[in-house]
Structure 1
Amino acid sequence: MKGINITKDKIETVLDKKFIRVFDLQYEEGRHYFDASRRPLDDLVAAKSEEEFKSMLPDAVSCVVVIEEDGKEPQLLLSYEYRYPAGRFLLSVPAGLIDPEDKEVQDPLFVTAKREIFEETGITVKDTDKVEMINPFVFSTPGMTDESNGLVLVVLKNPDLSTLNQDGAVGQEFFDGFEFVTKDKAKELLKNGRDDKGHFYSVFTWAALMYFVSDMWK
């Protein structure tokens, strides 16, 4: 099937704010599709070549953080983060945007993951901890936005949980405690589709729960 060629001259900027932009993609004469994006026009996914598309970095990184302590059952570390569009604290994974300077270093997704884990949990990822790629790039919901995340696994071996805190919140970030999830608890959360407060959670939390209960992190 022949694709649609969207070039920069067919894109109109509708809204341009610091953290969000809206573009009008004219994919045919008189036909329009609106795209919400964190990216500037020069980096918009819709106008990338095939090679650019295959080699680009995501906007952010979401982390599957597993705690392994000697003599204890492994646990998935989640937190309650206030999500403004939902108006509530939602069960979430450590996550954050890739900073411009991260793109200039080796393994930018791993660098971002380690920073976000430290900011959101107070835990420093050690060289002896396991850090692996789950998926380098997944779209959030390409029906309305080109926003994307890389998924990174971090297994913390005997971490110092006395340092656990949420004081590193930056900007609009707002947290309300942690949740240590065993495998049985993860299955319960998956089955219910809600947290213990009866609230729904994001697809990235769902993905972390699934990755954890499937033992793919091992």
Structure 2
Amino acid sequence: MEGPKITKEKVKTVLDKGFIRVFDLQYEEGRHYFDATRRPLEELVSVKNEEEFAKMVPDAVSCVVIIEDGDEPKLLLSYEYRYPVGRFLLGVPAGLVDPEDKSAKSPVITTAIREIHEETGIVVDETKDEIFVINPLLFSTPGMTDESNALVGVVLKGHDLSALTQSGAEGQECFDGFVLVDKAKAKELLKNGLDDRGHYYSVYTWSALMYFLSDMWKK
């Protein structure tokens, strides 16, 4: 079954603030659907053909960082201030794919390595650490936005965790400490649906907890 065809000619700009845009997707005469997006008109997902859709690069990367140092493996999470929620939320290292990343052999791997360094101080060593794509592109809430994230897994081995730092935060980024989560704690967080501060967390945190518990990251 085919849905309505949306072409660039049917898309009208409602708001353009550079970092956020709203487009009116006029999918039929007199019928409107709105898309809040980071993308400019020429990069909107709704107007891509199947080949372009298959090759598209996500807007951002979320990282499932697992510490494996001989003891029980742990998932590395941190508290980051999320402005739309107005609170520090438990989450994973994550960030936008920069324009220059898109020319890399693997844009999402390149982004992941940079974001992990900025948000944790850890330099991923591709000769001893494991880094791999879990999922190349996941839509966040496609009922209101075409924004997407890749999920990248990173298994760190032999790193000095005393050197963890959030001093690399840039711009509006604001952090409030790290949390190392073992399997028992991961199950507790999933069961409660809340972090230790009594706050809800994002679907990407939920995904990281589930992936960690599933052992799918193990070779």
How many angstroms apart in 2 are the aligned matches of 1:152 and 1:63? Answer: 5
Q: Secondary structure at the match of 2:211?
A: helix
How many angstroms apart in 1 are the aligned matches of 2:151 and 2:194? Answer: 22
Q: Secondary structure at the match of 2:180?
A: strand
How many angstroms apart in 1 are the aligned matches of 2:28 and 2:151? Answer: 34
Map 1:184-203; keep pairs closer than 5 Å.
184-203=184-203
Q: Secondary structure at the match of 2:80?
A: strand
Q: Which amino acid aligns with 1:105?
A: A
Map 1:49-88; keep pairs closer than 5 Å.
49-70=49-70, 72-88=71-87
Taking only the aligned residue pairs, the percentage that are identical comes to 71
Post-superposition Cα deviations, 1:163-206, rounded to whole Å, max 9, x if no partner, equal 21000111111000000000010000000000011100000000
1:158 Cα offset (Å): 1.4
**Is residue 139 from structure 1 mapped to residue 127 from structure 2 by the alignment?**
no
Post-superposition Cα deviations, 1:108-162, rounded to whole Å, max 9, x if no partner, equal 1100000000000000000210001100000000000000000000000011212
Map 1:92-131; keep pairs closer than 5 Å.
92-127=91-126, 128-131=128-131
How many angstroms apart in 1 are the aligned matches of 2:2 and 2:190? Answer: 39
Partner of 1:39: 39
Q: TM-score, normalised by structure 1?
A: 0.98
Q: Which amino acid aligns with 1:29?
A: E
1:18 Cα offset (Å): 2.1
Q: Secondary structure at the match of 2:144?
A: coil
How many angstroms apart in 1 are the aligned matches of 2:99 and 2:51? Answer: 21
How many angstroms apart in 2 are the aligned matches of 1:18 and 1:6? Answer: 23
Q: Which amino acid aligns with 1:166?
A: Q
Q: Secondary structure at the match of 2:216?
A: coil
Q: Secondary structure at the match of 1:208?
A: helix
Q: Structure 1 regions of 5+ residues with no counterpart?
A: none
1:19 Cα offset (Å): 1.2
How many angstroms apart in 2 are the aligned matches of 1:79 and 1:50? Answer: 37
Q: Which amino acid aligns with 1:45?
A: V
Q: Structure 2 regions of 5+ residues with no counterpart?
A: none
Q: Secondary structure at the match of 2:122?
A: coil
CA RMSD of aligned residues (A): 0.6
Q: Which amino acid aligns with 2:112?
A: A
Partner of 2:88: 89
The number of residues matched between the two structures is 217
Partner of 2:154: 154
Q: TM-score, normalised by structure 2?
A: 0.98
Partner of 1:19: 19
How many angstroms apart in 1 are the aligned matches of 2:78 and 2:2? Answer: 44
**Is residue 176 from structure 1 mapped to residue 145 from structure 2 by the alignment?**
no
How many angstroms apart in 1 are the aligned matches of 2:160 and 2:204? Answer: 26
